[in-house]
Structure 1
Amino acid sequence: MRVINHKSVGMFATHFLLVKEVFLLNKILVIDDEEHLCWALERGLRQEGYQVMTSTRGKEGLELIQNETPSLVILDLKMPEMDGLEVLVKARDLMPKLPVIMITAHGSIDTAIEAMKLGAIDYISKPFDLNELKIVVKKALMVSRLREEVVFLRSELNKKHGRILGNSPAIQEVNTLVEKVANSNATVLITGESGTGKEVTALSIHNLSYRREKPYVAINCAALPESLLESELFGHEKGAFTGAVVRKSGRFELADQGTLFLDEVTEMPLSMQVKLLRVLQERQFERVGGTESIKVDVRIIAATNRDPMECVKRGTFREDLYYRLNVLPIYIPPLRERSEDISLLTIHFLQKFNPSQEKMISPEAMELLMNYKWPGNVRELQNVIERSVILSQGNQIEARHLPKEIQNVEHKKRTIEQGLILNFPDKGISFDEVEKELILKALEKSKGNQTRAAQLLGLTRSALLYRAQKYQLKL
């Protein structure tokens, strides 16, 4: 019964991914009354690069916890003077977030479960294999580090209210541009693929502007036929057409003093584009069926998932309207070009769809999310996390809870990408040397960009850092 919680692989706090697959600088404290076991564990764990301290008495172990602040404790359940459960309780009082792995004797499972309830992160039963313990230690350290990151991420998310989420350079540039243009009255044209966050960006501009207390009104220009679109934008007088039984104010009137967001503006019929251009130039209009000119003070933000210049060339979008809207252009990059933001967005959506409890995500599931290309961008990621939260019964989202197209991403990548051709010598080959050479080639191809190099190798950045450290490569 393992409760190894989550991993949110990403690149954050100089860029979020400071998680490493082996924690070489972690101090591990072993508390066990059997001296030979302490010696064996110390020797085995030091071979993995950990700093190791040992103690054969619970009281002495607690003093080491207080003075040395270990990263993890391996604690025997049965000890004289002070048993493991008592040490566990006191250790958690000294360091509430300290991960503790319990060592239990055969037949002590009930007591081990009690230890888990008191805060132990995992347990292992005697007799155990040293390699098995090493895996448990590695996972426990990973969970501990990632819990710290979740706390940090959540605090960062609270700071980023009203901004598009992301720590990639591209999104930082977008947020900087949003802040600069917010208090201008000039029109803004936001471009980018569907699901990248164009409306979120538009709302951010409004919320950061002096118009924030006034209405923010949005309309999708592709969702309505021309006859209805005109009435929705400009309103209509009573009797203007069949069914117009009362006067109706349009979106321009409703947005007076505030912001009007025109989504998918390139889908607007050409005849409506002429009328929109006139309103943008004169800042006044007439309701459908009316003769009275209505003046409004509205900030216009438009968006499209198409290339507007291509639409101009095809004759489906007026060139003069394009230049009228494109005073302040903002481009939102697709999620596949800023994969370092996936972990941050995942944590955000986990918090959004599961606010009452800590729903975690397994390392394998996060690895798949990081490697997927996200054709639906942030909106698709949001839908995937919402679906996974519903399908996962426990407190952890596993790879099996993800859609099939994401589960199969590694297989597809291996079969689609061009294969690597190697000349295999008769005398054999050093796998370590091949791996080292591949890392160097990837770094060379990415011009030293660690994130890109990791992507070329099908790894996370943390895995790349670990392997580079293993081969003593300077990044």
Structure 2
Amino acid sequence: MTQLTDNPVHVQTILDSVADGVFTVDPQLRITSFNHAAEEITGFSRAEALGQPCCEIFRTNVCFDQCPLRKAFASGENITNIEVDVLDRHNREIPISVNASVLRDERGDVIGGVETFRDLSQLRALANEVQKQFSFHDMISRNPRMQQLFDILPDVANSDATVLLHGASGTGKELFARAIHNLSTRNNQPLVVINCGALPEQLLEAEIFGVRKGAYTGAIANRKGRLALAEGGTLFLDEIGDLPLSLQVKLLRVLENNEYQALGSDETRRADVRFVAASHRDLAHLVEEKRFRQDLYYRLNVVALHIPPLSERDEDIPLLLDMALQRFCHKHGKKIVRFSQPALEQLLAYPYEGNVRELLNIVERAVILCRGSQIEVMHIPALTSNALALKKNRCPDKDALSHLLQRFQGNRQQLAQHLGIDRTTLWRWLKKHQLN
């Protein structure tokens, strides 16, 4: 009895009924069959494709260095779920997922290969919509507390009140300050930033208030301070908790009377500036220790916004990873489409003590090191030592273990399974780090 697959017409009918694009090649990578979905996605007809080198019809960003079919021929194994971009006949980029396999005859000899591919345009568009839904002025979050901050930020910006931003280093305090400025009526005037912990006292005073020629050794000319540069706009005082007490008095005068004097000058100047301050330190605690003026604290603390650390925003990590991958691929001219599953799992479990800043640094380094189409664990050195510790059943550091404990909501059995250890070992690790 004749099999359906013995008839070439029947084979083509079967292939045309498949929703994914499918084409086959001979050992020289010339196309021998091309189904209807492949025509739809690439824009090339079957007649145009047959007999052509596949790289001239199926034009992807990995054809010459990471070709899935060449990899399948070389390894003899199936290549699955490689995300690439293909150029259709009109040179439009279409995101696709590719699988490649070797074709063999009855004796096991290689007679060609088959590649299947799926159009990911709708999935990408949906992912972009999701990202857009949770984006707000260069920030992204689906965390309820962050969403609440996004919701009230326009009202805060319009009030012209002094704002105090509190959050750990790397949580994005400057992004919040920029959003407040951009949403305010002062957005057509400058936003000026100064880090209060970056300079010694005398230089910091000159930097904020300006300096008159001869005020100190090296002051060879009159120079405007950040207050003057921010006139009509916003002055962002980052790490305000590091401001010396003597300068706190001068800043208080500006906040109370809108008046200040440049270093070495008797002339009183007026300041039309909106203030936004930020600190990773507890200013109320510094007040108790007499290291921060109480009156200045009250002046700054008109509207206080607390930005939660990334350890309290686990649901944001996938969004941030996708955003960072897109940003740094564009910056460095790379065509990396995703993280491998092992790399993604480690990135999701990483504690990120440096918060969003650390996440961005890790992804940018990985993008720079990656030569293929997906980021692997080896491209993320920051995670390697912890991964090796877990593989060798060595106790990870306290912060990493604490983060994992929170992730599994205290379920020690699930955490032990995740780490590949028994519960006794986990109990010893928790005891060592005094984690209940």
In the superposition, the TM-score normalised over structure 1's length comes to 0.63
| 2:74 pairs with 1:125 | no
| 2:38 pairs with 1:84 | no
**Aligned mates of 2:413, 2:283 — CA distance in 1:** 32
**Aligned mates of 2:412, 2:183 — CA distance in 1:** 35
Select the residue among 183, 205, 220 that pairs with 2:158. Answer: 183
Which one-letter code corresponds to 2:372 in the other structure? G
Please name the residue that 1:390 is paired with.
368
Select the residue among 345, 349, 373 that pairs with 1:367. Answer: 345
Aligned residue runs from structure 1 range 4-153, under 5 A:
34=5, 56-59=10-13, 61-62=15-16, 64-65=17-18, 70=19, 72=20, 84-87=33-36, 89-92=38-41, 121-126=98-103, 149-153=123-127
Q: Which has the higher contact order (CA 8 A, sep 6+)?
A: 1
Please name the residue that 1:201 is paired with.
176
Select the residue among 224, 233, 236 that pairs with 1:258. Answer: 233
**Aligned mates of 1:58, 1:261 — CA distance in 2:** 66
Quickly say closer, same or farther: Cα 1:338–1:57, change in 2 above 3 A: same
Please name the residue that 2:421 is paired with.
none
SS at match of 1:306: coil
CA contact (8 A) 1:235 1:288 kept: yes
Select the residue among 318, 335, 343 that pairs with 2:310. Answer: 335
1:46-76 Cα shifts (integer Å, max 9, x gaps): xxxxxxxxx94323543x35xxxx4x46777
Which one-letter code corresponds to 2:39 in the other structure? K
Which one-letter code corresponds to 2:239 in the other structure? E
Quickly say closer, same or farther: Cα 1:283–1:177, change in 2 above 3 A: same
Select the residue among 374, 379, 389 that pairs with 1:401. Answer: 379
Aligned residue runs from structure 1 range 264-279, under 5 A:
264-279=239-254
Quickly say closer, same or farther: Cα 1:394–1:365, change in 2 above 3 A: same
CA contact (8 A) 2:408 2:415 kept: no
CA contact (8 A) 2:142 2:315 kept: yes
| 2:283 pairs with 1:325 | no
SS at match of 1:329: strand
Which one-letter code corresponds to 2:164 in the other structure? L
| 2:318 pairs with 1:347 | no
Q: CA RMSD in A?
A: 4.2
1:383-405 Cα shifts (integer Å, max 9, x gaps): 11111111111121101111243
Which one-letter code corresponds to 2:101 in the other structure? I
CA contact (8 A) 1:256 1:298 kept: yes
**Aligned mates of 1:456, 1:74 — CA distance in 2:** 45
**Aligned mates of 1:120, 1:261 — CA distance in 2:** 45
**Aligned mates of 2:205, 2:236 — CA distance in 1:** 15
Could you tell me which runs of 5 or more consecutive residues in structure 1 were left unpaired when the two chains were aligned.
1-31, 36-54, 129-139, 418-444, 460-475
**Aligned mates of 1:388, 1:109 — CA distance in 2:** 26
Quickly say closer, same or farther: Cα 1:248–1:455, change in 2 above 3 A: farther
**Aligned mates of 2:153, 2:345 — CA distance in 1:** 31
Aligned length: 350
SS at match of 1:315: coil
Deviation at 1:324, TM superposition (A): 0.9
Deviation at 1:86, TM superposition (A): 4.8
CA contact (8 A) 1:164 1:171 kept: no
Which one-letter code corresponds to 1:84 in the other structure? S
Could you tell me which runs of 5 or more consecutive residues in structure 2 were left unpaired when the two chains were aligned.
45-57, 59-67, 88-95, 106-115, 397-404, 417-436
Which one-letter code corresponds to 2:34 in the other structure? L
1:114-141 Cα shifts (integer Å, max 9, x gaps): xx9897711223569xxxxxxxxxxx99
User: Of Structure 1 and Structure 2, which has the larger fraction of its residues in strand?
Assistant: 2
**Aligned mates of 2:326, 2:42 — CA distance in 1:** 28
CA contact (8 A) 1:167 1:340 kept: yes
CA contact (8 A) 2:23 2:35 kept: no
Please name the residue that 2:139 is paired with.
164
Quickly say closer, same or farther: Cα 1:108–1:240, change in 2 above 3 A: closer
In the superposition, the TM-score normalised over structure 2's length comes to 0.69
**Aligned mates of 2:388, 2:245 — CA distance in 1:** 45
Deviation at 1:271, TM superposition (A): 1.1
Quickly say closer, same or farther: Cα 1:451–1:259, change in 2 above 3 A: farther
Please name the residue that 1:213 is paired with.
188
**Aligned mates of 1:456, 1:307 — CA distance in 2:** 36
